[in-house]
Amino acid sequence: MSRNAGYMKKLRKARVERKQCIRCGKPLSQESLIRGVKQCEKCLDYQRKRKLGQISSKVNTTYFYNRQYKKDEIKRKELGNFMVENKITIKDLAKEANLSQRTIQRILYTDANYTKKTKDAINNYLGKELL
């Protein structure tokens, strides 16, 4: 982990205390809690598949339910400022929110649209409605 991941470390700790998945913030099931797992089944499954190379790190934007969001300069700037203030690097956020670094860079530096899935992944991970 990067030495700059202080905010995320704190957020993860708070989520463990609140019995929430450390990645998406959803409440953990009784089974997960008994097993001592810190992530929900969905996040664990995602990581397992990604490790096996079954999921590419790029977010698929072709599915119709991944509604495209209109560009929003202010929100992009808010996200950028929040990352700087909390010393969150693009690399950290990409890794922790299960997104590619390219996706994060596109959101921060270009006016490219992004999907609801991406928006949710970033907001859920940061524990704040930034996008």
Task: Tell the smallest beta-carbon distance from residue 29 to Zn ion (Å).
Answer: 11
| 22 scored as a contact of Zn ion (CB under 5 A) | no
Name the nearest CA neighbour of 107 among 12, 117, 23.
117
Note whether 115 and 67 are within 8 A (CB): yes
d(Cα 65, Cα 72) in Å, to the nearest integer?
20
Beta carbon of residue 48, minimum distance to Zn ion (angstroms, whole number): 13
Instruction: Select from 1-9, 15-23, 27-35, 92-100 the region that touches Zn ion (CB under 5 A).
Output: 15-23
Residue 8 in 3-state DSSP? Answer: helix
Per rule CB under 5 A, is residue 23 in the interface with Zn ion? yes
Residue 121 lies near Zn ion (rule: CB under 5 A): no
Among 5, 8, 11, 43, binds Zn ion (CB under 5 A): 43
40 belongs to the binding site for Zn ion (CB under 5 A): yes
The whole-angstrom separation of Cα 30 and Cα 28 is 7
Of the listed pieces 8-16, 21-29, 30-38, 85-93, which binds Zn ion according to CB under 5 A?
21-29
Query: Nearest CA to 69 among 100, 99, 106, 96?
Result: 106
Interface residues with Zn ion (CB under 5 A) are 21, 23-24, 40, 43
